Amino acid sequence: MTEPADPLVVFTPSGKRGRVAAGTPVLEAARQLGVDLDSVCGGRGICARCQVTPVFGHFAKHGITCDETTLSDRNATEARYTEKRGLAPGRRLGCQARILGNVVIDVPAESQLHRQVIRKAADARPATMDPALRLCLLEVAPPDMHAPSGDLERLMEALRAQWGIADASVDPGVFAQLQKTLRAGDWTVTAALHRASAEAPPLLTALWPGLLEGDLYGLAIDLGSTTIAAHLVSLRGGEVVASSGVMNPQIRFGEDLMSRISYAMMTPGGAAEMTGAVRAALNGLVAELAASADVCTDRILDMTIVGNPVMHHLLLGLDPVELGQAPFALATASARDLPARDLGLGALPSGAQVYLLPLIAGHVGADAAAVALAEAPELSDDLVLIVDVGTNAELLLGNRGRVLACSSPTGPAFEGAQISSGQRAAPGAIEAIRIDPATKEPRFRVIGCPLWSDEPGFAAATARTGVTGLCGSGIIEAVAEMRLAGLLDAGGLIGSAQQTGTARMRAEGRTHAYLIHDGSASGGPIVSVTQADIRAIQLAKAALYAGARLLMDEMGVDAVDRVVLAGAFGAHVSPQHALVLGMIPDVPVIRVSSAGNAAGTGARIALCSLAARRRIEREVRRITKVETALEPRFQEHFVAASAIPHATAAFARLRRNLPLPEPSFNTEGSRRRRR
């Protein structure tokens, strides 16, 4: 009252500033000025989430001079915390240190609830932590016989009085543990509150006695037809603390989506069987990730899941049969919040919640939505084609003006399935190959060994794994290299030993196969590329290209500015070889980039941010869906795209940089036609 004016406080890095009454704790000042300063204990000086660094000196820009007297000395609470738990030099507890004069206060990143996290080095866009969960310490009144009320009611009253939250509800599992937890914590407990949206009433999803130290965690799941990838993520800092991937156990019911739909249609209880299988796999992943990160599962309280519509429906226990036929009616397309227990995820605590990203259309799922969330085509200045290659390919084409999406049934050939020497990416699999255009001799690299096969020491280095087959990127490169070396014509026919001049060509009936590696002398397999393999790759890549071409038709363009290859496959395929094969439209090689597992990244972004969930829900409504199965031009595009690289598109840029030989091995065909 005797001071001329209330002290001025400036928070960095936000730059927020204002005057507060002398004696106001820093935490309270932050709240008054809208500065993001974390606190779990609500100002009791025990959680230390509100640590700040007062900055002393003269700040011309703020017009402030501050010294050590502008904050109160350490009080008993702060001294006790410092002694017991330690506080870094210069740091103060925001809830205990009181503002006595003008001061500049820095809020370090780890004290911000909504801190910005850089997702990865290659990606400049920062993401802001805005998770669905927060922790609150509560001091609950003990029971009083003369004013009888329930434990739950007194807990709710504490939440209202201490945190201003009056509309919370309680998960039934938490409710059952309430009495025990309150007494174990001597009426002090830490509550985890989950909000499905900023406006939604919070749900109390977990309760611990006393103050909970450490972080909460969430799981981001990319539920693919073939692989289920999972990341365990800290909901405080957003960092991945463990990752894992397992085969989707539904594979035993059918390799691709259509065969799983058929299984559901033909087998009574088949859909339920597949639902049970995938849920069991998710429970296994929870346990595995928790163990590998040494995180107690009771802290894993949120989960986001992306997947194509069939995976999405089977996970939810919905019959996928409608997705097998026009009009490809989804049971639901919206984003969905639900308790993990409604998905049979018993490995998670009772209160754990799940967010399913929205679907785009009957064939374009939440995986594509997640790719859109990660890659944000709607923010791109140039026209970008994003291709997420899996058993199904999801394609997005767009820029700031408009975004289109479709799905194309490439089948599992790109993952090494349906290929005679194909195999999953594992040590021993050929992942890269080059064929000398002169000698037609191959050299290759296998997963697990950095050496090329013609380098010294390769045999020794691969003795343990052997050379076992071709993984997805290996088969792509093999086919492209065969085309570049003149072993394969534009129509996809493999030439004979005579036509190609190499003894590596072996006749198989009326067709030929190119021998890459003969391990039979040491009991290993023969790795070769057969005519049937070429046909499988042609079908897959033609489907992919035709989908992209349909989107280009809809957009009214004949070229795109850049291509992003997403998916685990996209991370390993060589852009050059993808272009030679004609998988993607003709763009400069340097404008083809890999986004890694963009669907998984999208799931992770949604896990860390409610704002991101709202953003993708908004975006999917704006995306124009193109239904490949019904577009009459799809068939035409597909046939033209079967040629390598293409029957009608020029691929002029590619050919300028990399002249393609143009043999024709179709002697039998021409002979036949002559009859």
Contacting positions for a second copy (CB under 8 A): 142-146, 148-153, 172, 175-176, 178-180, 316-319, 322, 326-334, 338, 342, 359-362, 625, 627, 630
Provide, rounded to whole angstroms, the least separation between the CB of residue 317 and a second copy. 5
Provide, rounded to whole angstroms, the least separation between the CB of residue 613 and a second copy. 17
Helix (H, G, I), strand (E, B) or coil at 19: strand
User: What tokens were used for 288?
Assistant: 């595995």
Provide, rounded to whole angstroms, the least separation between the CB of residue 331 and a second copy. 5
Provide, rounded to whole angstroms, the least separation between the CB of residue 623 and a second copy. 10
Q: Are 155 and 178 in contact (CB under 8 A)?
A: yes
Q: Which is nearer to a second copy, 290 or 361 (CB)?
A: 361
Provide, rounded to whole angstroms, the least separation between the CB of residue 406 and a second copy. 11
Closest C-alpha among 559, 190, 554, 599 to residue 368? 599
Provide, rounded to whole angstroms, the least separation between the CB of residue 15 and a second copy. 40
Number of neighbours of residue 249 by Cβ within 10 angstroms: 16
H-run or E-run covering 538: helix 531-555
Closest C-alpha among 496, 515, 540, 542 to residue 666? 496
Rounded (10°) angle between helices 257-266 and 309-316: 40
Provide, rounded to whole angstroms, the least separation between the CB of residue 349 and a second copy. 16
Q: Which is nearer to a second copy, 97 or 271 (CB)?
A: 271
Provide, rounded to whole angstroms, the least separation between the CB of residue 198 and a second copy. 17
Q: Which is nearer to a second copy, 9 or 316 (CB)?
A: 316
Strand order across the 188-194 sheet: 133-139, 188-194, 203-209, 169-170
Provide, rounded to whole angstroms, the least separation between the CB of residue 275 and a second copy. 10
Q: Which is nearer to a second copy, 176 or 459 (CB)?
A: 176
Buried b / exposed e over 67-101, threshold 16 CB at 10 Å, is: eeebbbebeeebeebbeeeebeeebbbbbbbbbbb
Q: Which is nearer to a second copy, 200 or 460 (CB)?
A: 200
Provide, rounded to whole angstroms, the least separation between the CB of residue 634 and a second copy. 14
Q: Which is nearer to a second copy, 282 or 318 (CB)?
A: 318
Q: Which is nearer to a second copy, 331 or 515 (CB)?
A: 331
Q: Which is nearer to a second copy, 424 or 625 (CB)?
A: 625
Q: What gap in Å lies between CA 527 and CA 529, rounded to an integer? A: 7
Q: Which is nearer to a second copy, 528 or 628 (CB)?
A: 628
Contact partners, residue 561, CB within 8 Å, separation at least 6: 382, 383, 384, 587, 591
User: What tokens were used for 403?
Assistant: 């975004």
Q: Are 287 and 337 in contact (CB under 8 A)?
A: no
Closest C-alpha among 293, 110, 120, 283 to residue 217? 293
DSSP class of residue 109? G
Provide, rounded to whole angstroms, the least separation between the CB of residue 218 and a second copy. 21
Secondary structure string (H, E, C) spanning 364-398: ECHHHHHHHHHHCHHHCCCCEEEEEECCCEEEEEE
Provide, rounded to whole angstroms, the least separation between the CB of residue 332 and a second copy. 4
Amino acid present at 480: A
Provide, rounded to whole angstroms, the least separation between the CB of residue 154 and a second copy. 9
Provide, rounded to whole angstroms, the least separation between the CB of residue 624 and a second copy. 10
Q: Which is nearer to a second copy, 197 or 522 (CB)?
A: 197
Q: Are 387 and 541 in contact (CB under 8 A)?
A: no
Secondary structure string (H, E, C) spanning 124-187: EEEEECECCEEEEEEECCCCCCCCCCCHHHHHHHHHHHHHCCCCCEECHHHHHHHHHHHHHCCC
Q: Are 454 and 443 in contact (CB under 8 A)?
A: yes
Q: Which is nearer to a second copy, 271 or 612 (CB)?
A: 271
Provide, rounded to whole angstroms, the least separation between the CB of residue 641 and a second copy. 23
User: What tokens were used for 369?
Assistant: 């939505």
Which residue do the tokens 């993984």 mark? Answer: 471
Q: In Å, what is the CA distance from 54 to each residue of 17, 44, 62, 403, 564?
A: 14, 20, 14, 47, 45
Q: Which is nearer to a second copy, 333 or 583 (CB)?
A: 333
Q: Which is nearer to a second copy, 344 or 525 (CB)?
A: 344
Which residue do the tokens 């509150």 mark? Answer: 193
Q: Which is nearer to a second copy, 187 or 444 (CB)?
A: 187
Q: In Å, what is the CA distance from 547 to each residue of 65, 510, 631?
A: 64, 32, 10
H-run or E-run covering 276: helix 270-293
Q: Which is nearer to a second copy, 329 or 507 (CB)?
A: 329
CA 455, 456, 458, 459 torsion-angle sign: positive
Provide, rounded to whole angstroms, the least separation between the CB of residue 605 and a second copy. 23
Q: What gap in Å lies between CA 364 and CA 625, rounded to an integer? A: 8
Amino acid present at 608: C
Q: What gap in Å lies between CA 41 and CA 164, rounded to an integer? A: 14
Q: Which is nearer to a second copy, 383 or 623 (CB)?
A: 623
